[in-house]
C-alpha cells in the first residue's frame, strides 16, 4: 500500500511543468519551415504544403495549452506534494514532451489511420495521467492544507471526457480512417457544458 508522505511544496513540480510545456510548444514550431531559394511557383506550392503542418501545429498547441492550464489549476490549492503526486506529474510531463512526435506523424502522414491512432493514444495517455493526479489530490486534503477544492469533481469530469473522446478515436480510426479526427470536435460542446457547470461554484 502506498503511504502518502508530504515531500515539500509544489513549486518545483509546477516550475518543471512550465518548462516542459514551453519546450514541447517550441519543438512544434521547429517543424514549420520553407526551403530557401525557391522560384515564385515553388514558393507558393511550398506554402500550400504547409497547411497540414499548420493544422497539426494548431491542434497540438490547443491540446498542450489546455493541459498546461489544467496542471496549474490542479495545483492551485496544493500546499504539499508526496511521492505519488510527483510520479503522476512526471508521467504526464513525459506524455506532453512526446506530443511533438505524433504531431509530426499527423502532419506528414495524416491520411494514415495509424497516425491518428498514435496521436489519439498519446493525448489519452496525457489526459489519463492528469485524471489520476486529480483523483489523488482530491482524496488527500492534507496536501492542500485541509482546504477542500469545490471544483475537484468538475476538473475530474473535464479530464475524463477528454480521455474518453481520444480513446474512442483509436478503434474509430481503425474503422473509418483519418475521418475519425472529426470526432474530436465533440470536445467543444462537452467542455463548454462542463465549464457552465463550473461557473456557479466560483
**From CA 76, how far away is CA 14, in angstroms rounded?**
10
Q: What is the mean pLDDT of residues 5-20?
A: 89
112: left (phi over 0), alpha (psi -120 to 50) or beta: beta
Mean pLDDT of 31-44: 81
Domain boundaries in the chain? 11-201
Question: Over the stretch 145-162, which tens digit does the pLDDT of each residue have?
Answer: 776 777 778 888 899 999
For residue 198, what pLDDT is reported? 62
pLDDT digit string, tens, across residues 166-175:
999 999 999 9
As separate numbers, helices (DSSP H) first and strands (DSSP E) second, the chain gives 8, 0
Mean pLDDT, the chain, as a whole number? Answer: 88
Contacts of 186 by beta carbon, 8 Å cutoff, 6+ apart: 165
pTM: 0.87
* Angular region, 37: left φ>0, alpha ψ -120 to 50, beta rest: left
Q: What are the backbone dihedrals phi and psi of residue 15, each rounded to the nearest 5 degrees, phi first?
A: -65, -40
- Write the pLDDT tens digit of every residue in 102-124: 999 998 898 999 999 999 999 99
Amino acid at each position: 500500500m502506498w503511504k502518502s508522505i508530504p515531500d515539500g511544496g509544489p513549486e518545483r513540480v509546477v516550475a518543471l511543468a512550465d518548462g516542459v510545456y514551453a519546450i514541447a510548444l517550441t519543438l512544434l514550431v521547429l517543424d514549420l519551415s520553407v526551403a530557401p531559394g525557391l522560384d515564385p511557383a515553388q514558393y507558393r506550392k511550398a506554402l500550400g504544403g504547409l497547411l497540414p503542418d499548420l493544422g497539426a501545429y494548431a491542434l497540438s498547441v490547443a491540446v498542450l495549452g489546455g493541459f498546461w492550464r489544467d496542471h496549474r489549476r490542479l495545483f492551485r490549492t496544493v500546499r504539499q506534494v508526496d511521492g505519488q503526486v510527483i510520479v503522476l506529474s512526471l508521467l504526464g510531463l513525459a506524455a506532453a514532451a512526446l506530443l511533438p512526435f505524433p504531431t509530426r506523424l499527423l502532419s506528414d502522414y495524416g491520411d494514415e489511420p495509424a497516425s491518428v491512432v498514435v496521436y489519439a493514444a498519446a493525448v489519452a495517455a496525457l489526459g489519463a495521467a492528469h485524471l489520476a493526479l486529480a483523483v489523488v489530490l482530491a482524496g488527500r486534503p492534507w496536501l492542500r492544507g485541509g482546504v477542500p477544492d469545490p471544483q475537484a469533481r468538475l476538473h475530474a469530469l473535464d479530464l475524463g471526457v477528454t480521455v474518453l473522446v481520444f480513446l474512442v478515436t483509436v478503434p474509430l480510426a481503425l474503422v473509418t480512417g483519418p475521418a475519425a479526427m472529426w470526432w474530436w470536435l465533440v470536445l467543444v460542446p462537452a467542455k463548454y457544458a462542463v465549464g457552465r457547470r463550473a461557473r456557479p461554484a466560483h
